[in-house]
């Protein structure tokens, strides 16, 4: 049985779900929005075991041979409203998250992706070490909340950008000294030299590589008009991409690259839970199909 945990309103989860159904796979979908009506029982002895209660049914986790997990912040759901984080319902939802991630981390089932592998995205600095060791160039970087240090870094480069240093989604913006005004007290921010070139989005599924070139006038193409075209990566770059995913422990990864006019390949980051439906424009084989087949073992 294949466990899917997420939202069917999410195009990425929906695309994988529908392909598995078309393959006549034994799919068990758990709606994340019903987390307040879901529960997991954990028994520690004689050996650890987990049992899922959902919609009146009980299923032992040992029946799942693979799983695709795309959780969300349950506090955004209407039924939680303005409840305190300490409320019984919030604590129950937190426990559900904890237990399903505990199972996913230690099970022998195939998981897309294990929590420990996804955790590498919580530190862009940590991730950049693996990126460099995989053979990609990385932009000169600075993590700081010191205004003088930030201004010195800015003066050393023609243009720099800044973004979240963690896995929290942020809009990549070009830095100007005026951005510091009114932010005398701020947390550390991730700055990088801006690399001029073509944006390339790569999705890795096991040994398969799906790449597209993105044309956009925006610094962060996700928030600007853009056009995507499927491309074939040079063999060494494709190999470096799959190597990076393996190094990070990711079966599925979304990797952001930039290739300069001089042919230098920079890697900006690797996303361990990519919403790939936006990029799934390949005519012969879809990313969703590859993910579905990875689960169908």
Region 106-125: what's the mean pLDDT? 90
Tokens, residue 1: 């049985």
Region 213-220: what's the mean pLDDT? 83
Residues of the chain with CATH 3.40.50: 2-112
CATH class, 140-193 region: alpha beta
Tokens, residue 3: 């466990």
Region 9-21: what's the mean pLDDT? 98
At residue 168, φ and ψ (nearest 5 deg) are -65, 130
**pLDDT computed for residue 222 by the predictor:** 77
Question: In this prediction, what percent of the chain has a pLDDT beyond 90?
Answer: 71
**pLDDT computed for residue 1 by the predictor:** 97
Q: Which is higher by pLDDT, 26 or 161?
A: 26
The torsion defined by the Cα of 54, 59, 60 and 62, in degrees rounded to 10, comes to: -110
Residues of the chain with CATH 3.30.470.20: 196-295
Quickly name the fold that domain 2-112 has: Rossmann fold (3.40.50)
pLDDT-derived band at 22 (thresholds 50, 70, 90) equals: very high
Region 187-211: what's the mean pLDDT? 94
**pLDDT computed for residue 218 by the predictor:** 73
Asked if pLDDT for residue 81 goes beyond 80, the answer is no
Least confident of 79-88, 148-157, 209-218, 269-278: 79-88
**pLDDT computed for residue 176 by the predictor:** 85
**pLDDT computed for residue 219 by the predictor:** 76
Rounded CA-CA distance 126/107 in Å is 26
Answer CATH for 196-295 from 3.20.20.70, 3.40.50.850, 3.40.50.2000, 3.30.470.20 = 3.30.470.20
pLDDT-derived band at 166 (thresholds 50, 70, 90) equals: low
Residues of the chain with CATH 3.30.1490: 140-193
Dihedral (CA of 289, 73, 224, 268) sign: negative
pLDDT-derived band at 186 (thresholds 50, 70, 90) equals: confident
């Amino acid at each position: 049985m294949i466990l899917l945990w997420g939202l069917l309103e999410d195009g990425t989860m929906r695309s994988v779900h529908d392909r598995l159904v078309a393959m006549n796979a034994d799919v068990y979908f758990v709606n994340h929005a019903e987390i307040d009506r879901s529960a997991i029982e954990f028994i520690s002895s004689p050996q650890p075991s987990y049992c899922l209660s959902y919609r009146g049914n009980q299923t032992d986790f040992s029946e799942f041979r693979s799983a695709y997990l795309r959780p969300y912040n349950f506090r955004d759901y209407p039924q939680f409203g303005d409840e305190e984080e300490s409320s019984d319902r919030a604590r129950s939802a937190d426990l559900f998250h904890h237990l399903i991630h505990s199972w996913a981390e230690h099970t022998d089932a195939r998981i897309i992706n294990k929590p420990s592998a996804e955790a590498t995205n919580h530190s862009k600095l940590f991730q950049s070490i693996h990126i460099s060791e995989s053979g990609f160039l990385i932009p000169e970087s600075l993590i700081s909340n010191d205004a003088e240090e930030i201004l010195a870094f800015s003066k050393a480069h023609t243009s720099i950008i800044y973004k979240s240093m963690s896995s929290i989604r942020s809009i990549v913006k070009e830095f100007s000294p005026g951005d510091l005004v009114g932010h005398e007290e701020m947390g550390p921010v991730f700055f990088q030299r801006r690399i001029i070139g073509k944006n390339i989005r790569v999705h890795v599924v096991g040994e398969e590589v799906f790449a597209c070139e993105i044309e956009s006038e925006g610094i962060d193409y996700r928030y600007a008009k853009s056009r995507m075209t499927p491309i074939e990566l040079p063999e060494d770059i494709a190999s470096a991409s799959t190597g990076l995913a393996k190094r990070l422990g990711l079966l599925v990864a979304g990797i952001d690259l930039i290739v300069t006019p001089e042919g230098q390949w920079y890697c900006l980051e690797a996303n361990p839970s990519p919403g790939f439906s936006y990029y799934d424009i390949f005519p012969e084989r879809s990313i969703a199909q590859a993910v579905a087949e990875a689960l169908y073992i």
